[in-house]
Structure 1
């Protein structure tokens, strides 16, 4: 599947980069501590009220959208009048429970897959990659067993074997999608509560506000682990995107059973979700230096969206195409969508690789890897950067010479293509684009505020050098 070699913190430079960087000294202590104990506490997401609203609102939103797409072919379900609101809500709740109650089939499929991936995380081979120095651990670098690529391919191959032998038909996923989604939501609440309770019990809270609802939403645990299994890494990579892929694959197989063939639009969604899931798992070694891992706390909002929100909210295009196909779009329209997808994917994959491999290079953890596909421009030799007084280096080369978040823009282009391939008959295939735009704009604001506190005048200088956030010379 891949060949790899990793430089651990004590190893120094990779041989391939030693000669290229021989004029640059990279002492081991040059990598500054990442500030994960920020004392400048501020409420985010609207504080406790906003947190409570999202804890209640997001599951209700997912249930509503599921009924609209899965049960009503992508059309909005609305009350006939304000006076009908309460009876309408009761009917909606009854219908949801009828088709999406947490059945035994839903439990077996979702938790069976989850624990299968847990087992693979413990036993599969893979390199050990070290993260940043952690102030909360007195400068220790946590080790991450990066075997997600093996887990991903074993899961894909196993699923196909089960399907073609008849032991588990992949169409059972779409046939039981409602129960599976409900189980995923319940499981995310249970796991969030367990992480919160264990962290409080062990007295290892981080950045806690003292408000239970807000702390449950934002999290108080920085590095939850069960032996060698890092919970944040696992739930970010090994459940959401593979589950999303299998939902799309299930829709395509179901369509084949109904029509005798798979439409170009449904094949597009299988490709799109395969590319995304494969990229996340093949690039796992880059994740320890990302904000989600070194700064964000394991929280309800991370667990809920990784375990339930991502796979069951980003799949609407696949379901819509199954329920409403064949679409019979023109070859030109489909070609445009495929072009947008592949172009967006290239800049997204290489942008993430440029940023994270730059960090890994200076963190002495750069990994030489041949996982498929390795794209041109994924690593910048002799990359230009701004040195900060804090000790960190800010990349101003490659795609990051033109915008501070070019990989976000590429991500949004891909999400746009996921909607366009479904046409304009429903809003729900565009939910991902709409929601993701809000999330990324908000996240950039959070990141700018945190970096301004952290780097001070150096951050102002960086924004002068790279003034655009998303689109070069425009925004």
Structure 2
């Protein structure tokens, strides 16, 4: 197989025919995570400082709107009232969402319980890419998130139905829990930065403290066998989001005596997402977040606080607004969008990551529910680059470069539509997520153009569409 713009399939490479699940091959090229062409991102230090301050304030504001104002915007009476309005908002937030011992016990208790499970639950040991920063070493990961996920679900339901810990306490204490989560993310980001700096192990640092705190300086922080970045990526944000929606459903059952189809939809949506993340943990090892992104304030803040407490507004709105009466047809539409989006998102992520795992010789077979058709493409077509990497041009990736993002956005849209049009906040997720993904695709394209050169031009010629074939 020649390099450059040659396309091929796995069947053309005899090395690819090795037994699946064996030890990783030593001849696999380094994955470039050094990125010597440093450029400021996110607006540089000013943009970083703005987001470090702005995102917690945004979350606090949205919580007040959804909790206190039935999902409607809270606005000052005029320019002259801005200062007093801000004071009233701060006082009200502190009244209903100040950190409490109950909030800390719930959030930190869950977090440390999940961390404990990460050390003791069974699971296959998988290997990531070779890392130049570690002299070509491959890091080992015990992929036991699936066991942890099922154990924590069973534990939570036992605690709820025995009355030892009613899950309705989550929604009853959501404000304090959210504040604890934000404070905890700041603490962890500071700890990772301080330990990394003290050891003289800063990675891709700019020299500007604010920017480096925001973007991170540590690629692979670990506490023993626990990889902090993988842990905070999967085992906290999506399970917490699921338990918030489950708590809302239990609370609705207490109030009404039943759970509406709309609230059940949100439980299903967040269960599917959390379950997929944990059942496919081994696939995440080849993702951008793990092999390239640094453990940073923005990753920690959004994983530990932003995701669970900003993407839950549909569930809270549906609880507070009471039963919706959209009709069977509307609910069928929303459920169809959710399940169709989920199928293409799950299989799309599986196709690209299992393609990488195949060539990394770390592909394994797992009996994790649900296993969907088209999750792996035998003899997948690819573009061989002179850099040494192979770019998938088969399956859903023959039609668009980021089809999994498109499917993710379809699911996000369904999360808003199920709540109707009475409030903007159920749609915050898709608006914010679309902004993040467009920006992320731009970052990825710029990095790949530097990395692959003319091969990237050929790849974009072969697969010209980013999200939707023949549209965008």
- The residue aligned with 2:37 is 40
Instruction: Map 1:404-443; keep pairs closer than 5 Å.
Output: 404-443=401-440
Indicate how the Cα distance of structure 1 residues 321 and 474 shifts in structure 2: closer, same or farther if over 3 A, else same: same
2:22 counterpart of 1:25: no
Q: How does 1:319-358 map to 2 (within 5 A)?
A: 319-358=316-355
CA contact (8 A) 1:30 1:391 kept: no
> Could you tell me whether the CA contact under 8 Å between 1:403 and 1:467 is conserved in 2?
yes
Q: TM-score, normalised by structure 1?
A: 0.95
Say if 2:254 is the partner of 1:257: yes
Residues 345 and 411 in structure 1, CA contact (< 8 A), matched pair in contact too: yes
For 2:14, what is the secondary structure of its paired residue? coil
> Distance in 2 between the 1:308 and 1:317 partners?
17
SS in 2 for 1:327: coil
2: CA distance between counterparts of 1:413 and 1:183?
31
Contiguous gaps of at least 5 residues in structure 2: 1-9, 19-24
Deviation string, structure 1 residues 7-54 (Cα, Å, up to 9, x no partner): xxxxxxxxxxxxx84853349344221111111000000000000000
| Counterpart selection for 2:360 from 360, 363, 368 | 363
Give the aligned partner of residue 168 of structure 2.
Answer: 171
The answer (yes or no) to whether the contact 1:245–1:270 under 8 Å persists in 2 is yes
TM-score norm. by structure 2 comes to 0.96
Determine the structure 2 residue equivalent to 1:223: 220
Shift of 1:474: 1.1
Q: 1:328: how far off? A: 1.4
Find the aligned partners of 2:340 and 2:67 in 1 and give their Cα distance: 30
Shift of the 215–23 alpha-carbon distance from structure 1 to 2, 3 Å rule, reads: closer
Structure 1 residue runs of 5 or longer lacking an equivalent are 1-19
1:311 and 2:301 are equivalent in the alignment: no
Q: How many pairs were matched up?
A: 456
Residue aligning to 1:66 = 63
Q: Report Cα offsets for 1:81-130 as digits up to 9, x if no partner.
A: 10000000000000000000001110000000000000000000000010
Q: Does 1:203 align with 2:200?
A: yes
CA distance in 2, matches of 1:43, 1:345: 34
> Paired residue for 1:143?
140
Using the TM superposition, give the Cα deviation of residue 160 of structure 1 relative to its aligned residue in structure 2, in angstroms. Answer: 0.2
Query: In 1, distance between residues paired with 2:361 and 2:322?
Result: 50
Which aligned pairs between 1:382-401 and structure 2 lie closer than 5 A?
A: 382-401=379-398
Q: Distance in 2 between matches of 1:31 and 1:372?
A: 31
1:88 matches 2:85:
yes
Q: CA deviation at 1:461?
A: 0.3
Cα distance in 2 for partners of 1:116, 1:252 equals 23
